[in-house]
Structure 1
Amino acid sequence: MQSISAIVEAGLRALWRSPAAKFPAHGEVHPWEIWLERAEADRFLERAVALGIRFEGDRLQFPEDVVVVGHGTHDQIADAVRSFGTVKALAAPSVLSDYFEGIPPEEQAAWAQAMEGLVQPPHSVNPRFITLLDSGIGLNHPLIQPFLDPVDRHAAEPGWGLNDVHGHGTQLAGLSLYGDLLPVIQSNVPVHIGHRLESAKIIPDAGQNPHHLLGAVVLNAVNAVEANAERGRTFSMASTTDEDTPHDGAPTSWSSEIDQLTAGVSGNQHRQRLFVISAGNTDQNRFQGADYLSICDDPDHEIESPAQAWNSICVGAYTEKVRIPADLPGQAVALPGDLAPSSRTASWSSHWPIKPDVVMEGGNWVQDRLPPPMKHSALSLLTTDHQYPLRSLTTTADTSAATALAAKAITELWEDYPHLWPETIRAIFVSSARWTRQMKSHLPANPSKGDFTRLFQRYGYGVPDEARARRSAANALSLIVQDTINPYRPSTTAGAEPIHNQMKFFQLPWPKEVLRQLGATEVTLRVTLSTFIEPNPSEAARGSKFRYASHNLRFKLNRANENQAQFQARINKLADDPDAEPVADNDGWIFGRNRRDVGSLHIDEFRGPASDLARRNLLAVHPVAGWWKSKSIKDVGQKTARFVLVVELDAGAVEADLYTEIEAAIANLNIAQIAV
């Protein structure tokens, strides 16, 4: 015959919706997340208090449910369930990351083992890989082992060990697979992961790499990985240096090597590569009572090398983590949706590329009465520990964590669209980013183009939206073009430098009649142009964006009532002096020429009446100066540059009316190649 305690536990387990491993032990007071019928919630709370159950003040209200946290024993909770009959479900209350970091090793292992049974490795025969350029990855962790083969661990130097002594690489490996483990490990649902891991160790177990060899270390690591197999890879690197600062956005030897690797002109295998690099972290001890944003904005905290590389995706950190334990004095430093205190920013306002490109979750800090603020595990991200089985879980934060999250999101996008180029994935991912409401609160009421400078320097284009990125790749309201251009050709004048060769025109598939009928309804056109440049980091080139890049491309939208011939003539006048474009031509563009025409990734938004856009349906991609043009190279006419154009139309509630017509028009899209 079953004991009463067994019957009680069976009844409670029948209502339990969290993982079985999280079910509270018998005989002690535990917190319980209690789901109640909304109409009976207040009555239940009044009665349950009499049974000795203590309730926290907060509650969540949903259309049919109220959720509260009550502290009680098995018997007390079971008595309330039997007596009042309004409990719909029981669960483990959500906890902060510091809970998991603080529990004993055997409990950590139990949580990891419970999650291990829910993890489903990639089913694809040819999965994509995240290649972590870091301190190595621990191989024996049960949450990593299914995704990392022993043969997929490499090192930049043959004599280095492959294990992770420092722990940094293993922490980022967990984030690259699962994201923040805190919500994942508390759920009880299968975890589907479509990608795998590779380790390319660039951080020695002892000492440091000689500074002048940093580019060579990464090159050696890339060669070691690519010698193993031909795979689709996202290279993720959260190792940067402040020894090159201040560089003010100008290229360094390390950033130039990153640009070479991404462009495919360096490395044993000549292929374009996608690199995700952290922005670097601030010095916590510098925060002595001043507003943290002013310290992050200080030139002494500019983005670290090589994250200013033109072709890579530079990832800064923002945060939504503001909840701290009740017994912890102080408050979170950053407001939800704003820059993480650890994130470095760009000190330059023009000339060099917009960096960071995007920001991802990087945790928060706690400020007590006295500075400096402190990092705390409760405001960090939960991940895997390299000391397994001594420790299974740990916390991490800052721009390293943000970079791992970005690599995960990018790779998942690429899994869905494996035919897209690295330049295309970069364009779609970065273009999906938007500033949060808190970020935009730093703008004046009616911002001018110059007012956006500070936002770009802190947040880049904002927080990527993975759902929007997928819609861009799949939706007929987004036009994606992968194409090539021959930007320059030899001059017919003896001894003269090469001249511009061609531009490409795209007739945008707008349903003109529908747009005209919409009249003054505001529509938004977002245009992204992405190309990978080949760098020339000579001393003379360091001071000129036109001499550092092999080629520079621009996009232009025709004016209302401007036909292709008139449009082409206007572009030809600007080809040799692109900065001479009149300001009036920027009307309708939100960011403007100064923020758009830098680096190798250009993004801008045009907003205006639908009837106006109906007459602006020609988009041109054309070259301006680059070192391919300024240097007398024999094969200049054979130099081909790949580029990607992503055009998104947002017509608000009327999108559905446009979808079918645009989809049909895309099938007959006219792409014209015109000699300059």
Structure 2
Amino acid sequence: MDYLPDISAAALPGIYLEVEGRTGEPMITAGLNASDLTLLRVEPSRPAANQPARATVFATEEGVAKLRRKVEDFAGKERKSGRPYNADLVQSIGAIVEAGLRALWRSPPQRFPAQEGAVPWEVWLDKAQAQAFIAGAAELDVAIGADRLEFPEDIVVIATATRDALALAVRRLAGVRALAAPTVTADYFDAMDPDEQADWVDNLLGRTTFEAIDDPNYVTLLDRGVSRAHPLIEPALAVADRHAAHPAWGVEDIVGHGTQLAGLSLFGDLTPAFQSMLPIRLRHRLESAKIIPDAGHNPHHLLGAVTRAGINAAETAGVRRRTFTLASTTEDDTPHDGAPTSWSSELDQLAAGVSGIVATQRLVLVSAGNSDQNRFGNHDYLTTSDHADNEIESPAQAWNAVCVGAYTEKNVLPAGVPGTPLAPIGDLAPSSRTASWSSHWPIKPDVVMEGGNWIVNGPPPPMKHPALSLLTTDRQYPLRAFTTVGETSAATALAARAITELWSDYPELWPETIRALFVSSARWTARMRLHLPASPGKGHYGPLFKRYGYGVPDMERARRSASNALTLIVQDRITPYRESDTGGADHVHNEMRLFELPWPVEALRALVAHPVRLRVALSTFIAPNPSEPARGSKFRYASHNLRFKLNRPNEDRAAFIARISKVEEEPGGPAFDENDGWTFGRNRRDVGSLQIDELTCPASDLARRNLLAVHPVAGWWKTRAVLNPNERSVRFALIVEIDAGEVESELYAEVQSAIEVLNLAEIAV
């Protein structure tokens, strides 16, 4: 065993060993599963094929030493009976070598990938080590899908990688218990006969608890209605919670789209749900407000009005925390180039609470709209996706709504299906529309979620395939229980589920705050970041924002506060403008909010030059003014615009306030250069009603940057035509995240102590 690598010198967590028995003899494996030795797999001998038994073992450095001692004791020690120590184990071993991927393979040998390129692998991970493997895999060119299957001792993920890349990740990261060929896709369940599908419904229902909660959150689907006949939907959708925008319309779903979204917004993609045997807890409920008639369509000029009528109908049920989910868009307004339309403006009014029968702020999600697959060739689909003709459809450009685009991790086709997936894993879904407008309109989409993939098989255009789609509920139950769905509608339903679960964790937070937490948690996948140069400048992020927004939301990050990472949340109000004391042509800025952040100064100083990432999100809901002159200006469309600023490392309180106040009256807001570590910069950050940026700096520098200001810039409330501006206060949410990476630190503990004496100062300017 001296040929094995030095685990300590190679900085490996351990080593995978393939232990081969002797031909024709049983292998005794009891001694291979002990402290520091983990028996992962045993393949019995096959005498007919002259193949000995094999075992796969993971050994830490101490485990290797322990195994070596067992062999040495066999050679040099005898028991009183005269039999050598460890005889059963050692005499049954023919060879011990470092294991390759095949030693971890649990599928039939012929299914082991033969091709040289990147392919999907089913990776079984030890629960205790799964997160470390997932976090480190991307740096080794192993793309891990978002879906997870959880079992009592394992977490199963789908990884896409070449054999060499996966082998390197397995060796360096450990935690892998087995590898297999991905086999079950949505088409497997979709193709079942009704009786089989009903059995799977019963199985899932048996594992699902619809928790009794006095004040649950609701996903309110603004769609074609929802069928209550489906057993997976009926417990979450009360009879009285189905509504219609028009009193003469029925509430049933006769098309299927609403019922499909209902299943996704409750359970997510049913394919991984059916493969996991873990219990499911559902805390949120469903509402349905039909805004699309069963026959014909809504006149274009009534799209905003019918959306408002649907929301009004739902809100007759009383005050609830609702995630309004709209997966319907129009191409009649294209090209709009990001400018407001009547429908998007009404959506902004509804979110801000200045429209509708209830004067309340609303959390609204809207899909980005879908591409026509006939426009695509089989190569370089991103070029076609980026074309101006593929711009996001109205009303998805609404400032206050969360616009959801689609990406995909679906790239597994069943054996024997010809063709290849069009989009690479982790990149834009072919169906997703993208932004085409200049930087002064909001970043859209805000986020992307799974929307499925298309298949290339022969000449263009590419085709949809059930295996590359999401599995969900079918309105025709009991004739059919399942169907497949995709595109940005499916992505929006998944986003509704995720953001509503987040709101269920924090029911006291405002819609503005939940929006900020959700969107700010998003990150670009490793595949998306491949479109950046090695050392990107601020301008290089433009294509990523237009395709993916801020990326894929991470609910663990949205909820997280750990020893080395934390999130601070502020909910506050500000009165942005007041009448001019000198009787000027316009009103003037009234106040700003200055926050002295409870920074973990001692913990940051202890990290010295270690890089720390700060991410800030500022969220407010604006009241829109879509008049023709305002359509070309973000400062005349929004009632108010807010910005955030952070002090510099050597800038004290007085200098910081003076710097902001000095230039605040400029039409575009402060124009000073902030080339001090911010990743996205002013051109990308200072747009819309949600601003997000991050900076990375040495921990010791961040310790001195503990002042954060929220201040107004121009908006249409600042014009002389608006009466009593000092009576117009607005809400805002501020999210501040600090992440020290993998380093050991006590950021959270120090901040928790500092919060007790948190001082939030209001400064008049």
Same fold judged by TM-score > 0.5?
Answer: yes
Equivalent position to 2:291, from 191, 199, 202: 202
1:177-197 deviation line (CA, Å, top 9, x unaligned): 000000112333322111110
The amino acid across from 2:251 in the alignment is L
Q: What is the SS of the residue equivalent to 2:42?
A: helix
The amino acid across from 2:45 in the alignment is R
1:421-441 deviation line (CA, Å, top 9, x unaligned): 000000000000000000000
1:14-39 deviation line (CA, Å, top 9, x unaligned): xxxxxxxxxxxxxxxxxxxxxx9745
Equivalent position to 2:386, from 297, 308, 326: 297
User: Cα gap change, 1:649/1:38 in structure 2, threshold over 3 Å: closer, same or farther?
Assistant: closer
> What is the CA distance between 1:580 and its match in structure 2?
6.9
The amino acid across from 2:621 in the alignment is F
Equivalent position to 1:613, from 694, 702, 707: 702
Q: Which has the larger radius of gyration?
A: 2
**C-alpha distance in structure 1 between counterparts of 2:498 and 2:211, whole Å:** 16
> What is the CA distance between 1:288 and its match in structure 2?
2.6
**C-alpha distance in structure 2 between counterparts of 1:67 and 1:317, whole Å:** 25
User: Cα gap change, 1:351/1:667 in structure 2, threshold over 3 Å: closer, same or farther?
Assistant: same
1:342 alignment partner in structure 2:
431
Asked if the contact 1:60/1:66 (under 8 Å) is kept, the reply is no
Asked if the contact 1:252/1:537 (under 8 Å) is kept, the reply is yes
1:57 aligns with 2:111: yes
Q: What is the SS of the residue equivalent to 1:309?
A: coil
Equivalent position to 1:155, from 231, 237, 244: 244
> What is the CA distance between 1:106 and its match in structure 2?
2.1
**C-alpha distance in structure 2 between counterparts of 1:101 and 1:457, whole Å:** 34
User: Cα gap change, 1:434/1:92 in structure 2, threshold over 3 Å: closer, same or farther?
Assistant: closer
After superposition, residues 231-630 of structure 1 pair within 5 angstroms as 231-471=320-560, 477-494=566-583, 496-577=585-666, 579=668, 581=670, 584-630=673-719
Identity of paired residues, percent? 63
User: Cα gap change, 1:253/1:580 in structure 2, threshold over 3 Å: closer, same or farther?
Assistant: closer
Equivalent position to 2:272, from 183, 204, 208: 183
1:43 alignment partner in structure 2:
45
Equivalent position to 2:745, from 633, 646, 656: 656
1:578-612 deviation line (CA, Å, top 9, x unaligned): 64755642320000000000000000001111121
**C-alpha distance in structure 1 between counterparts of 2:154 and 2:570, whole Å:** 49
The amino acid across from 2:42 in the alignment is E
1:295-326 deviation line (CA, Å, top 9, x unaligned): 11111110010011001100000011100112
**C-alpha distance in structure 1 between counterparts of 2:360 and 2:565, whole Å:** 29
2:317 alignment partner in structure 1:
228
2:723 alignment partner in structure 1:
634
Alignment gaps of 5+ in structure 2 = 1-37, 53-106, 113-120, 127-152, 157-176
**C-alpha distance in structure 1 between counterparts of 2:348 and 2:50, whole Å:** 64
The amino acid across from 1:544 in the alignment is S
Q: What is the SS of the residue equivalent to 1:585?
A: coil
Which moved further from structure 2: 162-171 or 289-298? 289-298
Asked if the contact 1:316/1:360 (under 8 Å) is kept, the reply is yes
User: Cα gap change, 1:246/1:520 in structure 2, threshold over 3 Å: closer, same or farther?
Assistant: same
> What is the CA distance between 1:464 and its match in structure 2?
0.3
The amino acid across from 1:179 in the alignment is G
> What is the CA distance between 1:244 and its match in structure 2?
0.4
Q: What is the SS of the residue equivalent to 1:546?
A: helix
Q: What is the SS of the residue equivalent to 2:222?
A: strand
Q: What is the SS of the residue equivalent to 2:536?
A: coil
Q: What is the SS of the residue equivalent to 1:343?
A: coil
1:104 alignment partner in structure 2:
193
The amino acid across from 2:592 in the alignment is M
Asked if the contact 1:578/1:624 (under 8 Å) is kept, the reply is yes
Superposition misfits of 4+ residues, deviation over 3 angstroms: 36-39, 42-50, 53-56, 58-68, 91-94, 472-476, 578-584, 653-656
TM-score, length-scaled by structure 2: 0.77
> What is the CA distance between 1:108 and its match in structure 2?
1.6
The amino acid across from 2:223 in the alignment is D
**C-alpha distance in structure 1 between counterparts of 2:649 and 2:761, whole Å:** 19
1:128 alignment partner in structure 2:
217
Asked if the contact 1:528/1:603 (under 8 Å) is kept, the reply is yes
Asked if the contact 1:505/1:620 (under 8 Å) is kept, the reply is yes
TM-score, length-scaled by structure 1: 0.87
Q: What is the SS of the residue equivalent to 2:296?
A: coil
Using CA pairs under 8 Å that are at least 6 residues apart, name the structure with larger relative contact order, 1 or 2.
Answer: 1
**C-alpha distance in structure 1 between counterparts of 2:594 and 2:381, whole Å:** 46
Asked if the contact 1:476/1:662 (under 8 Å) is kept, the reply is no
> What is the CA distance between 1:262 and its match in structure 2?
0.5
User: Cα gap change, 1:265/1:472 in structure 2, threshold over 3 Å: closer, same or farther?
Assistant: farther
1:458-479 deviation line (CA, Å, top 9, x unaligned): 0000000010111169998211
The amino acid across from 1:204 in the alignment is P
> What is the CA distance between 1:661 and its match in structure 2?
1.3
The amino acid across from 1:57 in the alignment is R
**C-alpha distance in structure 1 between counterparts of 2:561 and 2:48, whole Å:** 51
User: Cα gap change, 1:637/1:156 in structure 2, threshold over 3 Å: closer, same or farther?
Assistant: same
User: Cα gap change, 1:45/1:574 in structure 2, threshold over 3 Å: closer, same or farther?
Assistant: farther
**C-alpha distance in structure 1 between counterparts of 2:217 and 2:363, whole Å:** 12
**C-alpha distance in structure 2 between counterparts of 1:610 and 1:140, whole Å:** 57
**C-alpha distance in structure 1 between counterparts of 2:46 and 2:355, whole Å:** 68
**C-alpha distance in structure 2 between counterparts of 1:216 and 1:350, whole Å:** 29
User: Cα gap change, 1:392/1:547 in structure 2, threshold over 3 Å: closer, same or farther?
Assistant: same
User: Cα gap change, 1:55/1:48 in structure 2, threshold over 3 Å: closer, same or farther?
Assistant: farther
Q: What is the SS of the residue equivalent to 1:656?
A: coil
User: Cα gap change, 1:488/1:191 in structure 2, threshold over 3 Å: closer, same or farther?
Assistant: same
Asked if the contact 1:472/1:648 (under 8 Å) is kept, the reply is no
**C-alpha distance in structure 2 between counterparts of 1:264 and 1:473, whole Å:** 35
Asked if the contact 2:564/2:744 (under 8 Å) is kept, the reply is no
Asked if the contact 1:134/1:169 (under 8 Å) is kept, the reply is yes
User: Cα gap change, 1:187/1:154 in structure 2, threshold over 3 Å: closer, same or farther?
Assistant: same
Which moved further from structure 2: 606-615 or 147-156? 606-615
Q: Work out the number of aligned pairs and report it.
A: 619
- The Cα RMSD (Å) is 2.7
> What is the CA distance between 1:672 and its match in structure 2?
1.3
User: Cα gap change, 1:413/1:40 in structure 2, threshold over 3 Å: closer, same or farther?
Assistant: same
1:365-411 deviation line (CA, Å, top 9, x unaligned): 00112110000000000000001111110000010000000000000
Alignment gaps of 5+ in structure 1 = 1-35, 69-87
**C-alpha distance in structure 1 between counterparts of 2:44 and 2:678, whole Å:** 53
Asked if the contact 1:489/1:500 (under 8 Å) is kept, the reply is yes
1:17 alignment partner in structure 2:
none
Asked if the contact 2:625/2:636 (under 8 Å) is kept, the reply is yes
Which moved further from structure 2: 389-398 or 59-68? 59-68
User: Cα gap change, 1:321/1:476 in structure 2, threshold over 3 Å: closer, same or farther?
Assistant: closer
User: Cα gap change, 1:190/1:38 in structure 2, threshold over 3 Å: closer, same or farther?
Assistant: closer
**C-alpha distance in structure 1 between counterparts of 2:337 and 2:204, whole Å:** 45
1:130-182 deviation line (CA, Å, top 9, x unaligned): 00000100111111111111111000111011110110000000000000000
